[in-house]
Amino acid sequence: GSRDAVLTAINLVAGYGAAPVLSDLNLEVRPGEMVAVIGANGAGKSTMMRALAGLLRPIDGDVILDDQRIDKIAAHRIAARGLALVPEGRQVFPELSVYDNLELGANTRRDVDYAAEIEAVLKRFPRLRERLHGRAGLLSGGEQQMLAIARGMMAKPRILLLDEPSLGLAPAMINELYDVLADLRDEGITILLVDQIAVLALAVADRGYVIDSGKIVRDDSAAALASDPEVEAAYLGHV
Ligand code: ATP
Protein backbone atom coordinates (compact mmCIF):
# COMPACT_ATOMS: atom_id res chain seq x y z
CA GLY A 1 0.00 0.00 0.00
CA SER A 2 0.97 3.62 -0.31
CA ARG A 3 2.96 5.08 2.54
CA ASP A 4 0.26 7.47 3.65
CA ALA A 5 -2.64 4.99 3.83
CA VAL A 6 -4.56 4.90 7.10
CA LEU A 7 -5.46 1.23 6.71
CA THR A 8 -3.85 -1.36 4.45
CA ALA A 9 -4.53 -5.07 4.02
CA ILE A 10 -1.85 -7.04 2.22
CA ASN A 11 -2.55 -10.60 1.09
CA LEU A 12 -5.01 -11.04 3.93
CA VAL A 13 -6.20 -14.60 4.54
CA ALA A 14 -8.93 -15.26 7.11
CA GLY A 15 -11.79 -17.62 7.82
CA TYR A 16 -13.32 -19.97 10.29
CA GLY A 17 -12.24 -23.48 9.42
CA ALA A 18 -10.15 -25.41 6.96
CA ALA A 19 -11.06 -23.41 3.86
CA PRO A 20 -10.40 -19.69 4.34
CA VAL A 21 -13.14 -17.22 3.44
CA LEU A 22 -10.69 -14.47 2.46
CA SER A 23 -7.74 -15.31 0.25
CA ASP A 24 -4.99 -12.80 -0.54
CA LEU A 25 -7.23 -9.81 -0.08
CA ASN A 26 -5.58 -6.46 -0.75
CA LEU A 27 -7.03 -3.04 -0.09
CA GLU A 28 -6.16 0.34 1.28
CA VAL A 29 -7.94 3.37 2.65
CA ARG A 30 -6.24 6.75 2.50
CA PRO A 31 -6.82 9.71 4.82
CA GLY A 32 -10.17 11.38 4.27
CA GLU A 33 -11.45 8.74 1.87
CA MET A 34 -14.72 6.90 2.05
CA VAL A 35 -14.16 3.49 0.50
CA ALA A 36 -16.99 1.05 -0.22
CA VAL A 37 -16.59 -2.71 -0.55
CA ILE A 38 -19.41 -4.33 -2.48
CA GLY A 39 -20.12 -7.98 -3.16
CA ALA A 40 -22.75 -10.67 -3.10
CA ASN A 41 -24.13 -12.39 -0.01
CA GLY A 42 -21.45 -14.59 1.47
CA ALA A 43 -18.59 -13.00 -0.50
CA GLY A 44 -16.76 -12.34 2.76
CA LYS A 45 -17.52 -8.70 3.57
CA SER A 46 -18.27 -9.18 7.26
CA THR A 47 -15.40 -11.62 7.60
CA MET A 48 -13.12 -8.95 6.14
CA MET A 49 -14.38 -6.33 8.59
CA ARG A 50 -13.91 -8.69 11.53
CA ALA A 51 -10.39 -9.62 10.40
CA LEU A 52 -9.41 -5.96 9.95
CA ALA A 53 -10.74 -5.08 13.41
CA GLY A 54 -9.02 -8.00 15.14
CA LEU A 55 -12.24 -9.79 16.08
CA LEU A 56 -11.12 -12.65 13.86
CA ARG A 57 -7.42 -13.51 13.91
CA PRO A 58 -6.05 -13.48 10.34
CA ILE A 59 -4.48 -16.73 9.17
CA ASP A 60 -1.95 -14.89 7.02
CA GLY A 61 -1.16 -11.49 5.58
CA ASP A 62 -0.65 -8.04 7.06
CA VAL A 63 -3.06 -5.44 8.35
CA ILE A 64 -1.42 -2.06 8.82
CA LEU A 65 -2.95 0.91 10.65
CA ASP A 66 -0.97 4.05 9.85
CA ASP A 67 2.44 2.44 9.79
CA GLN A 68 2.01 -0.27 12.41
CA ARG A 69 1.07 -3.91 11.98
CA ILE A 70 -2.11 -4.73 13.87
CA ASP A 71 -2.90 -8.23 12.60
CA LYS A 72 -1.49 -9.95 15.68
CA ILE A 73 -2.80 -7.69 18.42
CA ALA A 74 -6.05 -7.86 20.38
CA ALA A 75 -9.19 -6.12 19.17
CA HIS A 76 -9.33 -3.72 22.14
CA ARG A 77 -5.76 -2.58 21.43
CA ILE A 78 -6.63 -2.07 17.77
CA ALA A 79 -9.59 0.05 18.90
CA ALA A 80 -7.30 2.06 21.19
CA ARG A 81 -5.01 2.71 18.23
CA GLY A 82 -7.85 4.34 16.34
CA LEU A 83 -9.84 1.74 14.42
CA ALA A 84 -13.55 1.75 15.32
CA LEU A 85 -15.85 -0.96 13.97
CA VAL A 86 -19.61 -0.47 13.91
CA PRO A 87 -20.63 -4.11 13.52
CA GLU A 88 -23.54 -5.51 11.57
CA GLY A 89 -26.79 -5.52 13.51
CA ARG A 90 -26.43 -2.21 15.41
CA GLN A 91 -25.18 -3.62 18.66
CA VAL A 92 -26.09 -1.02 21.23
CA PHE A 93 -26.49 -1.78 24.93
CA PRO A 94 -30.29 -1.87 25.13
CA GLU A 95 -30.60 -1.50 28.90
CA LEU A 96 -28.33 1.55 29.03
CA SER A 97 -29.35 5.08 28.17
CA VAL A 98 -28.37 6.65 24.89
CA TYR A 99 -26.03 8.92 26.86
CA ASP A 100 -24.29 5.99 28.55
CA ASN A 101 -23.92 4.17 25.22
CA LEU A 102 -22.20 7.26 23.83
CA GLU A 103 -19.96 7.58 26.86
CA LEU A 104 -18.85 3.95 26.45
CA GLY A 105 -17.77 4.76 22.90
CA ALA A 106 -15.00 6.92 24.31
CA ASN A 107 -13.71 4.34 26.78
CA THR A 108 -10.55 3.73 24.76
CA ARG A 109 -9.54 7.36 25.31
CA ARG A 110 -8.13 9.22 28.28
CA ASP A 111 -8.98 12.66 29.64
CA VAL A 112 -12.24 12.92 27.80
CA ASP A 113 -14.68 15.76 28.47
CA TYR A 114 -17.68 13.48 27.93
CA ALA A 115 -20.35 16.15 28.13
CA ALA A 116 -18.65 18.33 25.52
CA GLU A 117 -17.98 15.46 23.16
CA ILE A 118 -21.45 14.03 23.46
CA GLU A 119 -22.75 17.49 22.67
CA ALA A 120 -20.58 17.57 19.53
CA VAL A 121 -21.80 14.14 18.40
CA LEU A 122 -25.44 15.09 19.02
CA LYS A 123 -25.10 17.92 16.51
CA ARG A 124 -24.70 15.29 13.82
CA PHE A 125 -27.39 13.00 15.19
CA PRO A 126 -30.19 15.30 16.38
CA ARG A 127 -32.64 12.40 16.70
CA LEU A 128 -30.56 11.04 19.56
CA ARG A 129 -30.81 14.26 21.54
CA GLU A 130 -34.55 13.80 22.05
CA ARG A 131 -33.90 10.30 23.39
CA LEU A 132 -30.69 10.99 25.29
CA HIS A 133 -31.79 9.75 28.69
CA GLY A 134 -34.06 6.99 27.47
CA ARG A 135 -33.03 3.37 27.12
CA ALA A 136 -31.25 2.60 23.86
CA GLY A 137 -33.40 -0.53 23.44
CA LEU A 138 -36.46 1.67 23.01
CA LEU A 139 -35.04 3.44 19.94
CA SER A 140 -36.25 2.49 16.47
CA GLY A 141 -33.93 0.36 14.35
CA GLY A 142 -32.72 3.39 12.43
CA GLU A 143 -32.10 5.35 15.60
CA GLN A 144 -30.14 2.44 17.04
CA GLN A 145 -27.98 2.39 13.91
CA MET A 146 -27.41 6.13 14.29
CA LEU A 147 -26.46 5.51 17.92
CA ALA A 148 -24.05 2.74 16.94
CA ILE A 149 -22.32 5.08 14.49
CA ALA A 150 -22.35 7.96 16.97
CA ARG A 151 -20.79 5.68 19.58
CA GLY A 152 -18.08 4.78 17.05
CA MET A 153 -17.44 8.49 16.46
CA MET A 154 -17.01 9.04 20.22
CA ALA A 155 -13.75 7.11 19.97
CA LYS A 156 -12.45 9.84 17.60
CA PRO A 157 -11.14 7.05 15.39
CA ARG A 158 -8.51 7.39 12.68
CA ILE A 159 -10.83 5.18 10.62
CA LEU A 160 -14.42 4.09 11.05
CA LEU A 161 -15.52 0.69 9.69
CA LEU A 162 -19.25 0.40 8.99
CA ASP A 163 -20.60 -3.10 8.37
CA GLU A 164 -24.02 -3.15 6.65
CA PRO A 165 -25.44 0.02 8.23
CA SER A 166 -28.67 -0.17 6.20
CA LEU A 167 -29.48 -3.76 7.16
CA GLY A 168 -33.09 -4.18 8.20
CA LEU A 169 -33.97 -0.47 8.08
CA ALA A 170 -37.02 1.11 6.46
CA PRO A 171 -36.28 2.94 3.19
CA ALA A 172 -36.90 6.41 4.63
CA MET A 173 -34.49 5.67 7.46
CA ILE A 174 -31.88 4.35 5.03
CA ASN A 175 -32.03 7.66 3.16
CA GLU A 176 -31.62 9.60 6.36
CA LEU A 177 -28.71 7.41 7.39
CA TYR A 178 -26.99 7.91 4.05
CA ASP A 179 -27.43 11.68 4.37
CA VAL A 180 -25.47 11.41 7.62
CA LEU A 181 -22.79 9.27 5.91
CA ALA A 182 -22.49 11.87 3.12
CA ASP A 183 -21.93 14.55 5.78
CA LEU A 184 -19.23 12.44 7.41
CA ARG A 185 -17.55 11.97 4.03
CA ASP A 186 -17.75 15.70 3.31
CA GLU A 187 -16.08 16.38 6.64
CA GLY A 188 -13.22 14.11 5.68
CA ILE A 189 -13.83 11.33 8.20
CA THR A 190 -11.97 8.26 6.94
CA ILE A 191 -14.47 5.43 6.42
CA LEU A 192 -14.51 1.87 5.12
CA LEU A 193 -18.09 0.90 4.32
CA VAL A 194 -19.73 -2.38 3.44
CA ASP A 195 -23.36 -2.41 2.38
CA GLN A 196 -25.62 -4.86 0.64
CA ILE A 197 -27.26 -1.93 -1.14
CA ALA A 198 -24.31 -1.36 -3.42
CA VAL A 199 -25.94 1.46 -5.36
CA LEU A 200 -26.15 3.54 -2.17
CA ALA A 201 -22.65 2.68 -0.99
CA LEU A 202 -21.15 3.62 -4.37
CA ALA A 203 -23.20 6.82 -4.52
CA VAL A 204 -21.67 8.08 -1.29
CA ALA A 205 -18.14 6.62 -1.49
CA ASP A 206 -15.07 8.06 -3.22
CA ARG A 207 -13.61 4.71 -4.22
CA GLY A 208 -14.78 1.13 -4.28
CA TYR A 209 -13.69 -2.46 -4.33
CA VAL A 210 -15.64 -5.48 -5.54
CA ILE A 211 -15.16 -8.62 -3.45
CA ASP A 212 -16.01 -12.01 -4.91
CA SER A 213 -15.39 -15.30 -3.10
CA GLY A 214 -13.03 -13.62 -0.65
CA LYS A 215 -10.88 -11.86 -3.24
CA ILE A 216 -10.86 -8.28 -4.50
CA VAL A 217 -11.69 -8.49 -8.21
CA ARG A 218 -12.21 -4.80 -9.05
CA ASP A 219 -10.81 -1.55 -7.72
CA ASP A 220 -11.87 1.80 -9.13
CA SER A 221 -13.48 5.13 -8.36
CA ALA A 222 -16.97 4.67 -6.96
CA ALA A 223 -18.40 6.56 -9.94
CA ALA A 224 -16.65 4.28 -12.43
CA LEU A 225 -17.88 1.16 -10.64
CA ALA A 226 -21.42 2.51 -10.39
CA SER A 227 -21.60 3.08 -14.15
CA ASP A 228 -19.86 -0.16 -15.15
CA PRO A 229 -22.31 -2.48 -16.94
CA GLU A 230 -20.80 -5.65 -15.45
CA VAL A 231 -20.89 -4.28 -11.92
CA GLU A 232 -24.39 -3.02 -12.51
CA ALA A 233 -25.61 -6.38 -13.76
CA ALA A 234 -24.03 -8.30 -10.91
CA TYR A 235 -24.51 -6.03 -7.89
CA LEU A 236 -26.66 -2.99 -8.50
CA GLY A 237 -29.98 -4.57 -9.33
CA HIS A 238 -30.95 -5.78 -5.88
CA VAL A 239 -32.26 -2.65 -4.19
P1 ATP B 1 -23.56 -11.28 4.15
O2 ATP B 1 -23.85 -9.98 3.52
O3 ATP B 1 -24.54 -12.35 3.78
O4 ATP B 1 -23.25 -11.21 5.61
P5 ATP B 1 -20.75 -11.35 3.65
O6 ATP B 1 -20.16 -10.96 2.35
O7 ATP B 1 -20.64 -10.40 4.78
O8 ATP B 1 -22.24 -11.77 3.42
P9 ATP B 1 -19.57 -13.23 5.42
O10 ATP B 1 -20.58 -13.00 6.48
O11 ATP B 1 -18.21 -12.69 5.63
O12 ATP B 1 -20.09 -12.72 4.03
O13 ATP B 1 -19.49 -14.80 5.17
C14 ATP B 1 -18.57 -15.37 4.27
C15 ATP B 1 -18.59 -16.88 4.41
O16 ATP B 1 -18.16 -17.27 5.71
C17 ATP B 1 -19.98 -17.50 4.25
O18 ATP B 1 -19.83 -18.70 3.53
C19 ATP B 1 -20.41 -17.78 5.66
O20 ATP B 1 -21.28 -18.87 5.71
C21 ATP B 1 -19.12 -18.07 6.35
N22 ATP B 1 -19.16 -17.68 7.77
C23 ATP B 1 -19.47 -16.46 8.25
N24 ATP B 1 -19.41 -16.43 9.60
C25 ATP B 1 -19.01 -17.68 9.99
C26 ATP B 1 -18.73 -18.30 11.25
N27 ATP B 1 -18.83 -17.61 12.40
N28 ATP B 1 -18.36 -19.59 11.25
C29 ATP B 1 -18.24 -20.27 10.10
N30 ATP B 1 -18.48 -19.76 8.87
C31 ATP B 1 -18.87 -18.48 8.80
pLDDT at 193: 98
pLDDT at 90: 77
Residue 8 in contact with ligand 1 by CB distance below 6 A: no
Model pLDDT for residues 166-206, shown as the tens digit of each residue: 998 999 999 999 999 999 999 999 999 999 999 999 999 99
Beta bridge partners of 85: 161
pLDDT at 239: 47
Q: Give the C-alpha distances (Å, rounded to integers) separating 117 from 38, 45, 84, 103, 189.
A: 32, 31, 16, 9, 16
Model pLDDT for residues 51-93, shown as the tens digit of each residue: 999 999 999 999 999 999 999 999 999 999 999 999 998 789 9
> Which ligand 1 atom is the nearest neighbour of the CA of 48?
11
Model pLDDT for residues 111-155, shown as the tens digit of each residue: 888 889 899 999 989 889 999 999 999 999 999 999 999 999 999
Residue 131 in contact with ligand 1 by CB distance below 6 A: no
Average confidence (pLDDT) over 8-16: 97
**ipTM of the assembly?**
0.93
